[in-house]
Structure 1
Amino acid sequence: MQVRFNGEADAALITYASRGEAMAAYKSPQPVLNNRFIKVFFYNPDIVAGATAGQDRSVLNSGVNVDKPGSENAPPPAQPPTKVATIEMSKFVNQELKESREKIMEARRKLKVEKSNQISIFNVHKRQTDLLQKLMDRQKIVVKKLKAEGETMEATEKKKLLTLVKQLMEKITIGKKEIDELSAKLKACMENITGLEKVISMEKETRKGSDSDGRDSASP
């Protein structure tokens, strides 16, 4: 495949091994690269050079050679491999690759932010979990003391310990709620990270597919 054909940035020239292959590509109902705005026409270098003068063949404007009546028995002249020029293909592919690169860059930017958020939330989650454990341990100690010494303890001291147990319970309830919220945020971060990594992977595969299509369309 030759891009920038005849010095035109939006044109490409594709060479096929035989005229049959070129005709199949020319008549295919499938648009090139699924883009109906890409135009295709036959290109024959002999016609451009005027090499067909005096031959018993007529040439259509499309560049397709057609035998004249009565010339069926004449041996066909040797022809170079038929070529199909695809207009605006290079321009379309470049635009597609540009959009793919932009999607990957944006996904990577968001991925960096999500991973940073994940680390921050994880650190807060760990601190809250450690604090909750300390509150629960302290509550157990106070409750154990009340059970062991409650009967002989002075009323003032007992009341103070009961108040402390209540305060600890309130803090534990709040701590559990905060940890649940942080856990939900961590889960959301993980889902976002997985989604962004999938987008990056899919865009890379799309770019590989575009490069492969370009090579498959090139002449052998």
Structure 2
Amino acid sequence: MPPERNADFVYYMEDVLDLYHEPYDENRPVVCFDESSKALRGHESEPLPAKPGAVARVGHRYERNGKERIHLATEPLTGWVNVEITERRRTIEFIDRMVELADDHYPDADCIRVVVDQLNTHNPAGFYQFFPPDQAQAYLDRFEFHYVPKKGSWLNMAEIELNVLKRQCLDRRIYHAATLRSEVAAWQEHRNAADRLIDWQFTTDDARIKLRRLYPIEINEDQQVLG
């Protein structure tokens, strides 16, 4: 959590919380985007399988095989999730993911509202690095970026899906990048078929009560509810 009385944190937090409680609009989808990584590691010696009276055993020593970056986008109000695996995490990978949202996943949307962390690579100006000005502006006209506050990544609902991915698919050693991609693709297919929506309950009114120490001007609970 940030220090007390942090106007910057409050500004970004309330912006995201208000966005989360807007009604579903297929022409203006809300998509949460976040990134993580997976270290590729293999067993130095073959694990011993489980047998009657003994659990499976895995050696502590392992072989390193680099690291892959995980880029996850999810639309909480529909349950849709998409994961891409890359070797690096730079501005160009972020722009590639945004272009995929615009061209492949939401080609008919009037505006794609994207919730992201305040990383230096999550910079909309990157469109001008990789596209001519008219094309960059055309893409930017279709996006609206909402940033979670620094030290407030818990406000990005993509973290929920990343945690599910890690728990259900990545909680073991994977040595080859190709294996990682196929396993994640299978998880993604299963996750999308399940239609599991994210029911976000925390509101701006809740924040003004439960996190009132963050607000520069002290307010009481009656003021919180009136907003």
Query: What TM-score range do you get, normalising by the shorter chain?
Result: under 0.3
Q: Normalising by structure 1, what TM-score?
A: 0.20
Name the structure where helix makes up a greater proportion of residues: 1
Q: Normalising by structure 2, what TM-score?
A: 0.20
Name the structure where strand makes up a greater proportion of residues: 2
Bigger Rg, which one: 1
